[in-house]
Structure 1
Amino acid sequence: MSKNNEKKANVKGLRSLLYNNKFVLLLSVILAFGIWIWVSIEKSPEVEVTVSSVPVKIDMDNSVPAQLNLQIFGDNNYTVDITVKGKKFIVSALTADDFSVVAQTNYVDSAGKKSLQLKATSDKSDNFDIVGLSKNYIEVYFDTYKETEMALKPSIIAPDNKTVTDGCILGNIVFSKNTVIVSGPSTEVNKVTSVTAETSISAPLTATTTVTPELKLVGASADELSNVSILEGDTAITMTMPVLKLVELPTTVTFRNAPASYLDGNINFSVSPSRISAAVPVEKVDQITSLSIGTIDFSELDAGFNTLNFKASDITEFVITDRSIKNFKVSVNMSGMTSGTFSVPASNITITGQKQGYNSVITSNGIDGVKLIGPADSISKINPDMLSVKLDLSSLDVKEGEQKVPVIISVAGDTSVWAHGTYYVTINSTASEQ
């Protein structure tokens, strides 16, 4: 009896639900959604969909071109569009990340522009077909890498080609670095014939000026050198454009290591030519009263008449505008001087400064055969104890072991005597503990 009552209660409850409008509405929605899902999956039509901008991979690891030292130059960011066919609900959800497109490099065996075939795959391709690619080949430039060092050539663009103001000339251009490294594919680098450092000025220069020029490759069109570059560290080079003032001044020489009595310029000498036209830095023109064509060390001067020659090409402090001048002749008159031969005792040779990192000792047993020049009265009073050498090694190129180093011989107690010739002492050096 109780079971019948339970069945009647269940039937009555189900009947009440079927007559409940809200329940019937909810049930209808659930059934409709389920039917829609089933139809979408089982009865969905096949469609074609294009997936855009799928990146192309060019794997060079252990590839044929890599083994031939070939590299890729130029654009290597390639993409393709992939068309797929499959059920709409599957293919419509595909993205570029679902595909892999690889360029085949197996047949790249030389430098140049090569057509690489593309192959597209997908781990999800069991559910759809890859119909085609927007392009089946890509053009890729292969070549070996090359670096070459090139000297810079200045180029100044000026109004009417006038770089400096009237009465001046442009001196030799000075670069903070004279060469640059050009790098890129060998075929293109080989076309570069030079590198210019170019700058533009709006008016003639009136003073020495320093700029950061634009570095340009010369030898072929920009398109032909599109993959060539200048190493980054070389692109900040500065270019100094010296402005030189035209002058006409007497010539002179500079004397070095002169005895005290000659420091006031009491030296009988002449220079030929005695006056020249030249160009000097415009910033120093008011300070210059003569042009020194070289330096004479007193050790070069003997008793009597001395003649020394200087090459015009060795002069760097100014520019000689008269190109016919090739040499200068300097005459130094030391008539009335006499000479004598002396020795420097070993005890009078001392080291006043050591080279950092070394300990040096003098091994020479004095210096013999020293020729002294001076007035006869002074030479007659010279004795060995008046001669000495003070050797400062701090700025010399000291090496371990024995070596000869040049020295300057001083004469104490006399201001008009000097040593003629070049003299050396032997030192022995060992590395010191830092």
Structure 2
Amino acid sequence: MKKDNFSLNKLMQNNKFIFILAILISFSIWIYSGLGATNDTNVTLSNIPIQIELSDEARDNGLQIFSGSEQTASVTVTGNRAVLGSVNESDVTVTAAANSINSSGNYSLPVSATKTNPSANFQITSAVAPSTISVVVDYFRESTYQIQDNHIVYKVADGYYGVTSLSSKSVVISGPQTEISKIDKVYAVADINGTLTESVETDAELVLYDKNNNKLSTELFTMDVKTVKATVTVMPEKTVEVKPTFVNKPNGLEITEDMISIEPSSILLAGPAEVLDNTTSVNLEPIDFSTLKAEKKTFPTLGIDIPTDCKNLSNSTSAKVTLDLSGLSTKSFTVDNFSVDGLSKEYNAEVTQKSISVTIIGPKDEIDSLSASDIKAVIDTSNSKGITGSVQMPVTFKFDVAKSCWAYGDYKANLTISEK
């Protein structure tokens, strides 16, 4: 009998053989993987937060870490391949030794790593990277600073005026005491392009400077605002006349140019167009003619009344006024003609004073033609407020003639007030 030769091709076409071969190969792979899992391997863990703890005493004394508290580290761990497959950054604790710190300053701290769970089945086999970290430790301080607006740069057109205002006038800055103490000025900084004829608004960055005008970093600071709205209000300009005002001035007296001088005689205003269009002059604080003699007198600081919403660009808050009345005449009169004004109808008044002496000032021709009978002493009781009995009340004088004359001085008269 003839024996068949062995054929590999026929064997590979045998389904039973292929099935058994696949089982043997899979089993071999499983055995190899199991044997490999028993071998140790290395894994590097990164981005592990570094924990920094000051001592209780340091914290109680007010010390804080202002820089370096958010750093991370990396370490290499070794262990069973199957175990390391589930190990992550939370399984390792990295700390920087800060217990010995008891004062402010910059410190370099050694960094170490431990297993979060001491019984975990892996080992830390490398030094921590980085091995040291730098931190800033200081006392906490908070201060409020005024924000200056003179670093808002802009240009206005001729005939216009610009003024800057900020949405916040101050900023609260907190941080390490050593750095806070360096702050001398806080500027709102912005640069506005173009030539302005109308108001604009922009964002301005807050920039800190020390007393030597060196810019300071804000890295260690907390600021309640870091930018502010800067508004540049642009208004037209106008030159207006400065005019005097008077009280108790006789209606007939004309103050001519040779009798008065005003310094400054005009000022430059900036303001809303609708206000300036209706403004040709500004008034001075009034001069009371009852205080004026027939002489030359200077009022060095009479306040200037500026219209609402306007700004005095001349920076003259007051004016000097010289009034020359030396060309007028003075004469005294004894007046016995009294009247009572302003008394409520529930009361009666009896003038107990028979006469009053008054000094009259005015042009010579009017003074010469004036007699005591032309003068009436008017007692003002409008401020008596229910007072009864013998009282003194202020007196003013009226003239039927001499329209350019006035009474110099302060006068009072006696009268008795009673209920009806």
**1:342, CA displacement in angstroms?**
9.4
Aligned twin of 1:382 = 379
Cα-to-partner distance string for 1:267-298 (whole Å, 9 max, x where unaligned): 96956136224243263432220123x433x8
Q: Find the residue that maps to 1:188 and give its secondary structure.
A: helix
Please tell me whether Structure 1 or Structure 2 has the larger radius of gyration of its CA atoms.
Answer: 2
| 1:140-289 → structure 2 map (5 Å cutoff) | 140-151=135-146, 152-158=148-154, 163-170=155-162, 173-219=164-210, 224-232=217-225, 235-243=227-235, 245=237, 247=239, 249-253=240-244, 272-273=262-263, 275-281=265-271, 283=273, 284-289=275-280
**Code of the aligned partner of 2:43:** V
Distance in 2 between residues matched to 1:265 and 1:207, nearest whole Å = 47
Check whether the contact 2:341–2:379 (CA below 8 A) recurs between aligned residues. no
Q: 1:57 aligns with which of 36, 51, 59?
A: 51
Q: 2:122 aligns with which of 115, 121, 128?
A: 128
- Taking structure 2 as the reference length, what is the TM-score of the superposition? 0.60
**1:53, CA displacement in angstroms?**
1.5
Q: Find the residue that maps to 2:44 and give its secondary structure.
A: strand
Instruction: Indicate the percent of aligned positions where both proteins have the same amino acid.
Output: 20
Q: 1:302 aligns with which of 258, 272, 290?
A: 290
Across the aligned residues of Structure 1 and Structure 2, the Cα RMSD in angstroms comes to: 5.3
Distance in 2 between residues matched to 1:175 and 1:265, nearest whole Å = 52
Q: 1:218 to 1:346 in 2, by over 3 A?
A: farther
Aligned twin of 1:396 = none
Check whether the contact 2:42–2:79 (CA below 8 A) recurs between aligned residues. yes
Greater helix proportion: 1
Please, which runs of 5 or more residues in structure 1 have no aligned partner? 1-20, 349-371, 391-408, 412-416, 422-434
Q: 1:52 to 1:211 in 2, by over 3 A?
A: closer
Aligned twin of 1:360 = none
Distance in 2 between residues matched to 1:145 and 1:335, nearest whole Å = 76
Distance in 1 between residues matched to 2:266 and 2:345, nearest whole Å = 50
Distance in 2 between residues matched to 1:103 and 1:265, nearest whole Å = 94
**1:83, CA displacement in angstroms?**
0.9
Distance in 2 between residues matched to 1:265 and 1:82, nearest whole Å = 102
**1:251, CA displacement in angstroms?**
0.7
Q: 1:311 to 1:30 in 2, by over 3 A?
A: same
Cα-to-partner distance string for 1:312-341 (whole Å, 9 max, x where unaligned): 7997841227x8x97422659899999999
Distance in 1 between residues matched to 2:53 and 2:252, nearest whole Å = 78
- Taking structure 1 as the reference length, what is the TM-score of the superposition? 0.58
Q: 1:88 to 1:227 in 2, by over 3 A?
A: same
Q: Find the residue that maps to 2:277 and give its secondary structure.
A: helix
Q: 1:223 to 1:326 in 2, by over 3 A?
A: closer
Aligned twin of 1:429 = none
Q: 1:176 to 1:93 in 2, by over 3 A?
A: closer
Q: 1:389 to 1:188 in 2, by over 3 A?
A: farther
**1:211, CA displacement in angstroms?**
4.2
Aligned twin of 2:321 = 329
Cα-to-partner distance string for 1:390-423 (whole Å, 9 max, x where unaligned): 9xxxxxxxxxxxxxxxxxx9x9xxxxx99x99xx
Distance in 2 between residues matched to 1:217 and 1:143, nearest whole Å = 20
Aligned twin of 1:73 = 66
**Code of the aligned partner of 1:95:** N
| 1:347-386 → structure 2 map (5 Å cutoff) | 380-382=377-379, 384=381, 386=382
Check whether the contact 2:171–2:224 (CA below 8 A) recurs between aligned residues. yes
Q: Find the residue that maps to 1:94 and give its secondary structure.
A: coil
**Code of the aligned partner of 1:79:** T
**1:82, CA displacement in angstroms?**
1.8
Q: 1:206 to 1:59 in 2, by over 3 A?
A: same
Distance in 1 between residues matched to 2:60 and 2:90, nearest whole Å = 30
Distance in 2 between residues matched to 1:342 and 1:131, nearest whole Å = 111
**1:303, CA displacement in angstroms?**
5.4
Structure 1 residue 87 and structure 2 residue 80: aligned? yes
Distance in 2 between residues matched to 1:313 and 1:144, nearest whole Å = 51
**1:102, CA displacement in angstroms?**
1.9
Distance in 2 between residues matched to 1:211 and 1:271, nearest whole Å = 46
Check whether the contact 1:252–1:271 (CA below 8 A) recurs between aligned residues. no
Cα-to-partner distance string for 1:36-63 (whole Å, 9 max, x where unaligned): 797467xx11222112211122234x44
**Code of the aligned partner of 1:166:** D
Check whether the contact 1:207–1:282 (CA below 8 A) recurs between aligned residues. no
Check whether the contact 1:250–1:290 (CA below 8 A) recurs between aligned residues. yes
Check whether the contact 1:84–1:131 (CA below 8 A) recurs between aligned residues. yes
Distance in 2 between residues matched to 1:181 and 1:301, nearest whole Å = 53
